[in-house]
Structure 1
Amino acid sequence: MEILFANEHLIMWETLILSFMITYVSIPPLIEVAKAKNLYDVPNGRTSHEKITPTLGGIAIFSGFVIASMIFINIAKIPYIQYIIAGSLVIFFVGLKDDIIGLSPLKKFVGQIIAAAIIIDLGGVRLSSLHGFAGIGALNYVSSDFLSLFVIVAIINAFNLIDGIDGLSSGVGILASLAFGGWFLLIGKMQLALLAVALIGGLLAFFRFNFFSKRYKIFMGDIGSLLVGFILAIFAIKFNELNAAIAKGSSYFIKASPAVSIGILIIPIFDTVRVMVIRMAKGISPFKPDKRHIHHYLYELTGSHRKATSILLLVNLFFIGISFWLSSLRVLELTVILVLIATFLTSIPYYLLKKRRNKKRPVSSFIADAD
């Protein structure tokens, strides 16, 4: 048993290292290709970066993740892995076209639905219960289908939307994968844990270039952000479904698993919902891009991508910790607690920034506002 345990740990390290190395060695050549073909993200009124930057980092992440997964994961023990890879390929090509020549929101949305449908209807990765949230337990097939589709597409787009400053999307992806993957390992779901490790390896290599490098600066683009959201949505669904299957007396049973999932993914989920609510309250389309995201506020306050990202990653880590700590609560109770804390924490940079902006405004602007 000890030998088997040791072998599993060795495989995990091999998966991590291979995914990391494939991504790491792929990025410099991709930057050269991007430069040769003028494939850059050009700064505009909505972006927080000031220099044109290559956007093909997602290709490297995808390569490291898929190759490491296919080499080390035992397909016989996780038969739906083929559908995860198939869905990832759909996401890859949707993101690739958007990164290179652009893609309409509708076509992008259709691509996400196709990827989600593959993993739900062919792979059988779906939500079958709400764990008593709002008094709802088991779901029928149709309800399960639509809820699973909504969750996957929502998380994909949430990660796409937070990919606005250096290291944020990849950093949150690493923390979330560690949280889900660690729990999968604890309950003996080695293949899912390996899938999480494969994603972590690719994201760590990308994070090194995106967050720290000046010479080889690169963005993950839509390929990367959509892929990270897609895989983490799958992890969230499996996290909830496996909890529903575990005996309640088990040491690793998590009563409020849907709320814990929200806590693990709090940065993309809460920020997306918050921004959409604000837009609708102002009579603006909830899908119209702007600079109301929390990372925009923190970047303007700190003047630094690294500081803003570091703050948000620490906050995300705090939410992961408190979610697991309070996981014995009811789903609704923990969800309310997380939302209240997130609302309070989000209001701090908002009001600090508002106060700073008011100090900088000339008196004439206040008179104009009054008129």
Structure 2
Amino acid sequence: MNILYIIYAVVFMFSLLMGFLVMPRIVSISIHKRLVDLPDERRVHKAPCPRLGGISFLPLALMSVFLFNGLCVLVLGASVSSTDTPTFVRMQFCGMGAMLLYLIGEADDLVGVNYKAKFVAQLVAACLFPLSGLCLNNLGGLFGIHQLPAFVGIPLTLFLVVYITNGINLIDGVDGLASGICILTFILYASMFIFLNHPVFAAICLSILGVLTVFFIFNVFGGKRTGLRKLFMGDTGSLTLGYVISFLVVHISTFNVHRVFVMSGAFYAALSPLIIPLFDIVRVVYARYRDRVPLFAPDKRHIHHKLLRAGLSPRGVMVTLLLLTVYFIGLNALLSHYVSATWVLSADVLSWVVMHLAINRCIYRTNRLRPELAIRYENPKNTIPEKNKFAL
């Protein structure tokens, strides 16, 4: 067996073990300091729940990556863990941006941060990508477009980073949903980087995957029956995860003729596990604009709210959306070998529309059979007054 695969396994197990050691302490501290997420009109949970699970993601992932680099130097030699200078610079800037959003998310979880301040922080973090030399320069044939000039690629990169970061943040509304989608995403990315012989980035994915797996167990299975305390990731976790995922998406899809790195359809393969949160943002923003409500106002329009209105339990919503994520991954992987990127996107949009038509039909039937659900969501604009936020 290749010794590198053993190191991958050690790194993943180390992250997993550290997660099991740290998560219970986070729960205890959160409860002792009353750092809990209180139920309200928009929340699904009915009891206060610790919301600082995300503070463990970045530190534990960094510890695991450092362990990987150290093992590579000791066992295999520095050449395996070292990267070329441009990639090294990109990783440093990514670390800066991740730390910025980590701190903003932590402030939001502790005292609340205005959405404008969060947006500015996301934009600043996104600007670090082109500053480090990383930006989209090829769309892989979408709408017949291949190579992109810098004046198009840089704004598109900034948009994509903010888009993905907010997508992960906004889909975090049901136990196990955001973490489950991220787990599927990092499994896919780790496989792609291992296949492409990019060990450092594979180690990053496996490091985050280990701690995310532990969080998923606490988040989904926490309760009186299991003896585990439920834990939420909060904005600290969702913003950090979204930013790291956006970095990996742009990196894995960057076209470079000097390196055999990009495989066919890499950009769309990288985006495939994110289709549900990314498409849902478009639908929700359009619905808010149509109903003349603030675009950034919290509401109950997201896809997980729709599935709850259709009569599914929170656990059922999570399982359904994770299975749909697997469907989109498989669909894009299959179609990318036979049709162009434009047709792949068309198939994704068609699947999305059919899915929502089916959900709307289920909501109509459920409202007739269970009037209490219709009463719960009787506000036609589904708006919720936003709590006061601390202005950074």
TM-score between both structures, scaled by the size of structure 1: 0.89
How far off its partner does 1:142 sit?
2.6
Residue of structure 2 equivalent to 1:262: 271
* 1:271 equivalent in alignment to 2:280: yes
2:210 is aligned to 201
Q: Distance in 2 between matches of 1:16 and 1:199?
A: 8
One-letter identity of the residue aligned with 2:359: P
The question of 1:317 aligning with 2:329 is answered: no
In the TM superposition, residue 11 of structure 1 has moved relative to its aligned partner by 1.3
Tell me which residue corresponds to 1:84. 94
Query: What's the secondary structure of 1:166's corresponding residue?
Result: coil
Residues 1-371 of structure 1 aligned to structure 2 (within 5 Å): 6-73=2-69, 74-77=81-84, 78-79=87-88, 80-122=90-132, 124-214=133-223, 215-241=228-254, 253-254=263-264, 256-328=265-337, 329-361=339-371
Identity %: 29
CA contact (8 A) 1:61 1:206 kept: no
Report the CA distance shift for 1:134/1:41 in structure 2 as closer, same or farther (over 3 A): same
Q: How many angstroms apart in 1 are the aligned matches of 2:130 and 2:301?
A: 33
CA distance in structure 2 between the aligned counterparts of 1:353 and 1:209, rounded to whole angstroms: 30
Q: Structure 1: which amino acid aligns with 2:364?
A: K
1:301 to partner: Cα distance = 3.6
Contact 1:176 1:264 in 2 (8 A): yes
Pair 1:320–1:244, CA change in 2 (3 A):
farther
1:22 and 1:87 map into 2 onto residues whose CA distance is: 24
Counterparts of 2:61 and 2:108, CA distance in 1 = 20
Deviation at 1:295, TM superposition (A): 1.0
In structure 1, runs of 5+ residues without a counterpart are 366-371
d(CA) in 1 for partners of 2:117 and 2:29? 26
AA matched with 2:251: K
Q: Which has the higher helix share?
A: 1
Q: Look up the SS of the partner of 1:131 in the other structure.
A: strand
Question: In the TM superposition, what is the alpha-carbon distance from 1:287 to its structure 2 partner?
Answer: 2.1
TM-score between both structures, scaled by the size of structure 2 = 0.85
Q: Distance in 1 between matches of 2:163 and 2:258?
A: 25
Following superposition, the deviation at residue 233 of structure 1 comes to: 0.9
Alpha-carbon distance, 1:9 to partner: 0.3
Q: SS where residue 132 of structure 1 aligns?
A: strand
Which deviates further from its counterpart, 16-25 or 78-87?
78-87
> What secondary structure does 1:219 align onto?
coil
Structure 1: distance between partners of 2:122 and 2:298: 19
Q: Is the 8 A contact 1:262 1:269 kept in 2?
A: no
Question: Secondary structure, in 3 states, of the residue corresponding to 2:40?
Answer: coil
CA–CA separation in structure 2 for the residues paired with 1:17 and 1:360: 46
Amino acid corresponding to residue 316 of structure 1 in structure 2: T
Residue identity in the other structure for 2:231: I
Secondary structure, counterpart of 1:283 in structure 2 = coil
Code of the residue aligned with 2:189 in structure 1: it is: F
- Kept after mapping to 1: 8 A contact 2:309/2:366: no
